Structure 1
Amino acid sequence: MQRVIVRSSRGALPTAAKLVAGIGLALTGFFTASAILPYLPAGTRDQGAGLMSMSFGWLIGWRVIGRAPQATMAGAARVGLRAALWLALTVLLYLGALQMMARMLRGRYHGLSEALTDVIAQGLGLGAAAVQLDVIAMLFLGGVLSAILSAWAARRWQ
């Protein structure tokens, strides 16, 4: 008879810190996406950008912030800024992919490689249009606040 050993990887179980981080960054993603929309060029496809940003925020908050809640405010701020940067990059990649799909359906590309490289170009173009003080402040303050609240939840409920 064989003996079965069950090992859980670090961070596999849900914790209060992960829950708070996921909710905080999901809300940050939703409100930041709502703030970005007026700055995007006319005709930009933004279908579901708020909900998709919430989804990305939940996942990044859970995996980046909630995995290792920081003991100090400076550590929490650093992790929150990193998570906010990841959130911005994934949302811009998503919006760039939406733009590329719209152009692809109109037959603007001659090959797959041209379409895939245009995802990055579209994302960078939308990111350049969305570089506004209120959007950046909302994104990074939301990330830092999510990380601080996650650290508080880890101390409170562990």
Structure 2
Amino acid sequence: MPSAPRLVSALCLLVVAFLVSSMIINNGEEGKDYGWFTYANMLIGFLVGWKVMGKRVGRGWTSAVNNGLTGMAATVFWCLFAQGCNEMFRLAMRHRYDGPFEALISIFEISVEYSKLLLTPEILWTLAIGALIAGLAAEEAGRRWR
């Protein structure tokens, strides 16, 4: 069911996903083609905001902060998983794996490698502040537009 808190939380996570994706691209390798990286992360941010954060609104301000942190953690997890799957498929098409289980395990190995790109102060601050703003904005939208 569409509602204002779902839309607000989805848009907040979409914006944070865009900002963090842009920071990763700026901090990344020169000349690397990131393709649909930013768009995929923005879509995941929107969906997590809509499905995870949007339905947990209306439980108070403390829960709103926790909701924002949970939504941000879920967004980071699913973005890392999606990018790990994408890279695994790219490598699998070049016959880099001996079997399917090696390819499945490499998804998580690649995701852990990509998570190291998030360990810069500006990205961590963006994620933390974005989570707080998203949670509080969704709670305010829930109180204002019932």
Whether TM exceeds 0.5 here: the answer is yes
> 43-52 or 87-96: which moved more?
43-52
Change (3 A) 1:67 1:87: same
Change (3 A) 1:45 1:99: farther
| Alignment-derived partner of residue 142 in structure 2 | 154
Q: Which runs of 5+ in 1 are unaligned?
A: 1-12
| Alignment-derived partner of residue 116 in structure 2 | 128
> 121-130 or 35-44: which moved more?
35-44
Change (3 A) 1:35 1:43: same
Contact 1:95 1:123 in 2 (8 A): yes
Q: CA deviation at 1:44?
A: 6.4
Q: 1 or 2, which has the higher helix percentage?
A: 2
Post-superposition Cα deviations, 1:100-133, rounded to whole Å, max 9, x if no partner, equal 1221122110111111110110010111133111
Residue 56 of structure 2 aligns to a residue whose secondary structure is coil
Q: 2:64 aligns with which of 63, 70, 76?
A: 76
Contact 1:76 1:148 in 2 (8 A): yes
CA distance in 2: counterparts of 1:117 and 1:41, whole angstroms: 25
Change (3 A) 1:155 1:80: same
Partner amino acid for 1:28?
A: V
Q: CA deviation at 1:71?
A: 4.2
> 125-134 or 15-24: which moved more?
125-134
Q: Which runs of 5+ in 2 are unaligned?
A: none
CA distance in 1: counterparts of 2:58 and 2:122, whole angstroms: 27
| Alignment-derived partner of residue 96 in structure 1 | 84
CA distance in 2: counterparts of 1:43 and 1:106, whole angstroms: 21
Contact 2:58 2:143 in 1 (8 A): no
1:107-146 aligned at under 5 Å gives the runs 107-146=95-134
Change (3 A) 1:44 1:111: farther
Larger Rg computed on CA atoms: 1
In the comparison of the two structures, how many residue pairs are matched?
A: 146
TM-score (norm. length: structure 1): 0.84
Consecutive aligned runs of 4 or more in structure 1 exceeding 3 Å deviation: 38-45
What is the percent sequence identity of the aligned residues? 24
Change (3 A) 1:86 1:122: same
What root-mean-square deviation, in Å, do the aligned CA atoms of Structure 1 and Structure 2 show? 1.8
CA distance in 1: counterparts of 2:30 and 2:87, whole angstroms: 12
CA distance in 2: counterparts of 1:43 and 1:103, whole angstroms: 19
Contact 1:45 1:99 in 2 (8 A): no
CA distance in 2: counterparts of 1:100 and 1:150, whole angstroms: 35
